[in-house]
Chains A and B, each alone.
Chain A
Amino acid sequence: MSIEVRPVRDGDFFAWLDVYAKYAEFYNTQLTDQKALLLWSWLTDADHEESGYVAVDGERVLGLAHVREFARPLEGDRGLFLDDLFVVDEERGRGVGAALIQKARSLAEERGLGVVQWITAQDNTTAQKLYDDVASRTSWVTYEIDLTKARASGQGGEPADSADSSGGQSATGDAEAAHTTAGRG
């Protein structure tokens, strides 16, 4: 059986959704119908920066990758960001992930992009075994200001005093910030 990686196309929606829902589940993210349709509209809109690829064996979708180009001012070039990469459980270990990454690499090559870049969870060791084979692990530290969290907890403009590294601890950070606001009121 051979693996082919190709762009997603109109008729792929339900097969793609099936795989993407598993990916969302893996990341404990709820994939609502609304979100799925929004993302599909991005992938099928040639003018939108996000594009989708599927790894297929005949009719069967084995995995997917979503990519977009991004500007790299300091390098004076552009890169390709791999937002999502997923291989369905039962197809692991036969090179599907590697084939999807290889596709991203050849896209970058064809377009003269300087890098293919992606992020992954620190504890995703299975994926990291593959990534360490094909790419370099950098030492960049990523910072995030989560604006949805600020909205949800009714926070104003004040940044929280402490920034915690794990999700569990950040809940405590929020509680403290909320307490401060209550104290002022």
Chain B
Amino acid sequence: MTVTVRPVQDNEFFTWLDLYAGYGDFYESPVTDEKALLVWSWISDPGNELEAYFAVDDEGLPIGLAHVREFARPLDGSKGLYLDDLFVAPGARGTGAGSALLDALREAAKERGLSVVRWITAKDNATARRLYDRFAEKTSWVTYDLVP
């Protein structure tokens, strides 16, 4: 199967929601209607930093999804690309959709002159981490959260 990657279009809300809801279920963080509409408003606003990409199969069917945004890296004096969400439909695992998305994002970041593609994942997400280990370096950064 040949998988290609392209930006999500304005009229693809329901296709996008289908994939994003699956992702939300995986992380046990349900995508409510309110949340879906908010995130969609970010994606469809060219002035908003968030961008969305589909991986599509031979027939043009979206089988994977990625959300990214550029971010400033002060100490490095550069900008990077942050991968917020990456998801492949359960029925399309093993088709190379995840690789295709990471590959496209790396190339896009390179073209834009960004210095890094960065993302986080759950420690126990072994399946995803096998893929990530092929593309990227596991860092030893410790992440802290403070809920105000």
What is the interface of chain A, defined by CB distance below 8 A to chain B?
Answer: 23-24, 27, 29, 32, 34-35, 38-39, 42, 48-50, 66, 68, 70-76, 81, 83-84, 101, 104-106, 108-109, 113-122, 128, 131, 134-148, 150-151, 157, 159, 161-166, 170, 173
Contacts and interface: CB of A to CB of B under 8 A. Distances in A.
Contacts, number: 197
A117 B141 CA distance: 12
A144 B117 contact: yes
Given A73-B67, A76-B35, A141 B129 contact: yes
Interface of B: 23-24, 27, 29, 31-32, 34-35, 38-39, 42, 48-50, 67, 69, 71-78, 82, 84-85, 102-103, 106-107, 109-110, 114-123, 129, 132-148
B24 A165 contact: no
Contacts of A35: 77
Contacts of B135: 143, 145, 159, 163
* Centre residue among A32, A42, A147, A170 by max chain B CB count within 10 A: A147
A83 B73 contact: yes
B146 A122 contact: no
Contacts of B109: 145, 147
B103 A157 contact: yes
* Centre residue among A32, A38, A144, A148 by max chain B CB count within 10 A: A144
A153 to B, nearest CB: 14
B34 to A, nearest CB: 7
B136 A143 contact: yes
B35 A120 contact: no
A163 B146 contact: no
B25 to A, nearest CB: 11
Contacts of A147: 106, 109-110, 114-117
